[in-house]
Copies of this chain bind each other. A is one copy, B any other.
Amino acid sequence: MNPGAQHPDDPASQPLRSDAERNRERIIAAARRVFARDGLNASMASVAREAGVGIATIFRRFPTKEELVAAVFADRMDSYADAVAVALDDPDPWHGFVGYIETACAMQAADYGFADVLTMTFPTAKAMEERRNEAYEGMVELIDRAKATGRLREDFDPSDLVLIHMANAGVINATGDAAPDAWRRVVALMIQSFEAPARGPLPASPEHAALYKAMLRASPAGPAAAEPDRSN
Contact = CB atoms under 8 A, between A and B. Distances in A.
A179 B207 contact: yes
A225 interface: yes
A169 B227 CA distance: 10
Interface stretch (A5-13, A51-59, A125-133, A184-192): A184-192
Interface in A178-212: 178-179, 181-182, 184-186, 188-190, 192-195, 198-200, 202-207, 210-211
Contact of A170 (B166, B200, B228): B166
A93 B176 CA distance: 33
Contacts of A186: 163-164, 166-167
B163 A182 contact: yes
Given A214-B174, A225-B41, A226-B230, A181 B203 contact: yes
Given A168-B170, A171-B163, A203-B181, A41 B192 contact: no
Contact of A199 (B164, B170, B192, B213): B192
Interface string A94-127: 0000000000000000000000100110000000
Interface in A117-176: 119-120, 160, 163-164, 166-171, 173-176
Interface of A: 39, 41, 116, 119-120, 160, 163-164, 166-171, 173-176, 178-179, 181-182, 184-186, 188-190, 192-195, 198-200, 202-207, 210-211, 213-215, 217-220, 222-230, 232
